[in-house]
Amino acid sequence: MKISHYISIDLGATSGRTMLATFDGQQITLTELTRFANPMIPLGGHLFWDLPSLYNEVLRGLQKAAASGINPVSIGIDTWGCDVAYFGHDGQLLGLPYCYRDSHTDGATERFFEKMPAKEVYEKTGIQFMNFNTLFQLDTLHSNCCSALDAADKILFIPDALSYMLTGRAVTEYTVASTSQILNAVEREFDPALLDAIGIPRERFGEMVQPGTVIGTLTEQVQQATGLGAVKVVAVAGHDTASAVAAVPAENERFAYLSSGTWSLMGIETKESIINDDSFRHNFTNEGGIDGTTRFLKNICGMWILEQCRREWEREGKCYSYPEIVEMANSAEPFVSFINPDDASFANPQSMLKAIEAFCIRTGQPAPQNDTQIIRTIFESLALRYREVLEILESMAPFAIDVLHIIGGGSKNQLLNQFTANAIGKRVVAGPSEATAIGNLMMQAIGAGEMSTLAEARTIIRASIETETFLPQQREAWEAAYARFVELK
């Protein structure tokens, strides 16, 4: 039996990990090699990512693989979208990449719409408007005469930047580029009019490549630093959500997905983009998927709110484990207060706990009185927001939605999964929790010829993982809660 090894590097907006993926032709197994934090760096009044540190963590993961005697077929990197790094003509990194949560893009959408109307931008790109989209970041930095941008020979999205640092070849992977709001949804290439509007020529970006493309091999320096040989680096679905959605263990097209992590991303998989007045009005996005698919979805503020609360509690000496958090939520009185997770006040407040209290008071609700009630408020509010977005999604979907697949780290939260089933009134299937790493592996295996299609890959995934099903309960109580939730302003 042939055994193939692949290295999946998955970097999220709060943490990253290196995963060893093993494929025996029938099943996939995953082993975690390294895990590390990815904190935002406050510096000079802005927020940045420490890309050299992330690169060093990538090398550490590769070193660990080499030390264990693994000879991987290839390496693939996925990360969050929108943010970019700048490199000079000599290949050197020009400063730290800005973090999408930095406040320098506050008001950036309105400023850009003075150059080009919002409707025209949406008709070209099909991308939801968020002030941190690459289009608005680059427009802001160009207007501010950013020294790194001005000197840049190459502008690369984060997965492409790391692949460039490993191989010396600069490319732009399609799925992560599709998050930028610069890509034309029909042409699947950067839109000339949008590039002109931000004053950046196309040649400063890498060649556009599709998932499964071999970028190159590890440079001699990286080989010496890690102990690996001339291993191939493959452009997987570089946007982490694209990799995660590829790993949904669906049996047919009649499903919606919820990629649950720091962000919750809810959507469907379609053959064509959905760009019309309704999708524009509801601010839905059309991002690139694999195998020619489009991910029609909406971003929802997910576990970010809870993660920020946990940081505040830890500073107070209260270090709750995740099982403790779930038990606390389960023991709390239900339906006391709700928040809108996507309210602007929760984007990056100085204190998330105070932001929750202020929202409840502003909307005429009781403020949570303790940590337990705060957690319950977050979980219930997320479930109700999922229903709100799903109903809008169903009104535009070209097919009926029978089931919601929850993937990613949040799929392990059984209480929130049950709340979600209760709120939406549909069957929920949870898993895989390691969807991003699995989707990353899939594209490497497809690039190596070990899998051929998305359908075949999903058949293998279903044989490799266990899922858990949740059916709706307490429908009357959740209907009443939803009626209250949608009245929040």
Annotated catalytic residues are: 240
Q: How far is CA 211 from CA 236, 322, 440, in A?
A: 5, 34, 10
Name the amino acid, one letter, at 488: L
Tokens standing for residue 401:
């939605």
How many alpha carbons fall within 13 Å on the CB side of residue 484? 17
Question: How many residues can be counted in the chain?
Answer: 489
With H, G, I as helix, E, B as strand and everything else as coil, classify residue 255.
strand
C-alpha 133 chain-centroid distance: 13
CB atoms within 10 A of CB 279: 21
Give me the residue label for tokens 């020979």. 153
Nearest-angstrom CA–CA distance, 192 and 187: 11
Scanning 23-157, the segments in alpha helix (DSSP H) are 51-67, 108-112, 118-125, 134-143, 147-151
β strands within 227-365, DSSP E: 232-235, 255-260, 263-270, 285-288, 294-301
Tokens standing for residue 63:
């070193």
Nearest-angstrom CA–CA distance, 428 and 484: 23
Give 19's DSSP letter: E
Among 385, 354, 373, 417, which residue's Cα sits nearest to residue 481?
385
Q: How far is CA 230 from CA 21, 138, 219, 308, 317, in A?
A: 19, 35, 7, 41, 47
Name the amino acid, one letter, at 1: M
